[in-house]
């Protein structure tokens, strides 16, 4: 699933071709792509609206429209957005198209069909469940400290919780914990002030590096122009099971936590600190 850096890369690439363009039609052959309203109403409401801004909140793309509404798209597992001329052949997995007034199309390709698009007048209310943006100025060390307080969950699944911090997924959680030298099963409320400061810096570091490298092209992610990002070439632990740690040479290990994989260096990220009670059983795997 595209995470914050991949979605931010997509947002930046779509601004130039979309801002100022009007939607003159909507094509869809997979109705479940449209979460709300239904397809007929979405067509009527979005018709002739102009794209005024393209932004991101967590892993959601937000397209601000001239009629006071916002088109929200979540790429989910395999979603991909691009802008192409109408006469360019469509990929067979393109299921939703927003036709533009200049003869081009905003195409929503989605092989696994889990992506969703919706039109709303209240985007803030719809996304109010999301945690803070980790790259925002307001996300300080004290913010992270207060959100960790009293939480006994293991760090890796906690970082994946979008109500805790918005936009962090499997790749960047593993990477942040590696640079913070924290085991993925470490209990969140066991961190010292110094460790919280280090984790805060590590989260911001890996996300910014991911943006600078325009995302990690692992599995199906590619940029809107069809080219690959470069973050996959800078990963320290994610999907490097059995490969040597870049810092100490120990083999990278992989475990399961709440049904998700976690990659870490057993030497650089030791388990000598408190482990979340929920994960003591998995600690033996």
Phi–psi pair at 258, nearest 5 degrees: 50, 40
Q: Which residue has the tokens 């199906």?
A: 220
Rounded Cα–Cα distance for residues 152 and 276 (Å): 6
Rounded Cα–Cα distance for residues 52 and 156 (Å): 37
The CATH number of 4-126, from 3.50.50.60, 3.20.190.10, 3.10.20.600, 3.30.2010.10, is: 3.20.190.10
Given the residues 2, 134, 157, 224, the one annotated as active site: 2
Rounded Cα–Cα distance for residues 37 and 72 (Å): 12
**98 by DSSP, 3-state: which?**
strand
Given the residues 3, 6, 69, 105, the one annotated as active site: 3
Given the residues 260, 266, 274, 278, the one annotated as active site: 260
Q: Is 76 a catalytic residue?
A: no
Rounded Cα–Cα distance for residues 117 and 36 (Å): 7
**207 by DSSP, 3-state: which?**
helix
With a CB cutoff of 8 Å and minimum separation 6, the contacts of 146 are none
> Which segments of 133-244 does DSSP mark as H helices, in order?
141-148, 155-160, 170-180, 193-212
What is the helix (H) or strand (E) element at residue 16, kind and residue range?
helix 4-18
Within 10 Å of residue 163's Cβ, how many Cβ atoms? 10
Is residue 28 within 8 A of residue 99, CB to CB? The reply is no
Which class for 162: exposed (0-12), middle (13-18), buried (19 or more C-beta within 10 A)? middle
CATH 1.10.8.50 occupies which residues in the chain? 141-284
- How much is the pLDDT for 274? 62
The CATH number of 141-284, from 2.60.40.10, 1.10.8.50, 1.20.58.100, 3.40.50.10800, is: 1.10.8.50
Copy the structure tokens of residue 150: 């009293």
Given the residues 57, 59, 185, 186, the one annotated as active site: 59
Rounded Cα–Cα distance for residues 191 and 203 (Å): 15
- How much is the pLDDT for 89? 96
Evaluate the CA torsion angle 42, 48, 49, 51 in order and state its sign.
Answer: positive
Q: What Cα–Cα distance (Å) separates residue 246 from each residue in 39, 186, 217, 243, 268?
A: 50, 22, 21, 9, 10
Q: Is 32 a catalytic residue?
A: no
- How much is the pLDDT for 273? 64
Mean pLDDT split into 10-residue runs, the chain, 285 residues: 95 98 97 94 96 98 97 95 97 97 97 95 96 98 96 96 97 98 96 97 98 94 96 97 97 93 97 64 36
Q: Is 45 a catalytic residue?
A: no
Q: What angle do CA 115, 118, 124 make, to 5 degrees?
A: 110
CATH 3.20.190.10 occupies which residues in the chain? 4-126
Q: Is 124 a catalytic residue?
A: no
């Amino acid at each position: 699933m595209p995470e914050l850096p991949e979605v931010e890369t997509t947002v930046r690439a779509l601004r130039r071709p979309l801002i100022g363009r009007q939607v003159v039609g909507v094509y869809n052959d997979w109705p479940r792509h449209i979460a709300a309203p239904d397809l007929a109403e979405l067509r009527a409401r979005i018709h002739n609206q102009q794209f005024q801004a393209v932004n991101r909140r967590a892993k959601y793309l937000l397209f601000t429209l001239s009629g006071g509404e916002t088109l929200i798209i979540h790429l989910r597992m395999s979603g991909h957005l691009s802008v192409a001329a109408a006469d360019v052949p469509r990929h067979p997995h393109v299921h939703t198209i927003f036709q533009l007034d200049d003869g081009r199309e905003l195409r929503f390709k989605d092989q696994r069909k889990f992506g969703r698009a919706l039109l709303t007048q209240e985007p803030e209310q719809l996304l109010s469940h999301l945690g803070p943006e980790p790259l925002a100025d307001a996300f300080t060390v004290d913010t992270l400290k207060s959100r960790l307080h009293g939480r006994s969950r293991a760090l890796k699944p906690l970082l994946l919780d979008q109500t805790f911090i918005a936009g962090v997924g499997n790749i960047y959680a593993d990477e942040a914990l590696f640079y913070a030298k924290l085991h993925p099963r470490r209990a969140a409320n066991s961190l010292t002030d110094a460790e919280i400061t280090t984790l805060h810096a590590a989260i911001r570091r890996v996300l910014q590096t991911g943006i600078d490298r325009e995302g990690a092209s692992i599995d199906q992610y590619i940029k809107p122009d069809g080219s690959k990002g470069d973050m996959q070439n800078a990963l320290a632990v994610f999907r490097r099971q059995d490969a040597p740690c870049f810092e100490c040479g120990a083999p990278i290990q992989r475990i399961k936590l709440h049904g998700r994989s976690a990659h870490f260096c057993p030497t650089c990220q030791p388990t000598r600190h408190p482990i979340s009670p929920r994960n003591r059983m998995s600690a033996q795997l």
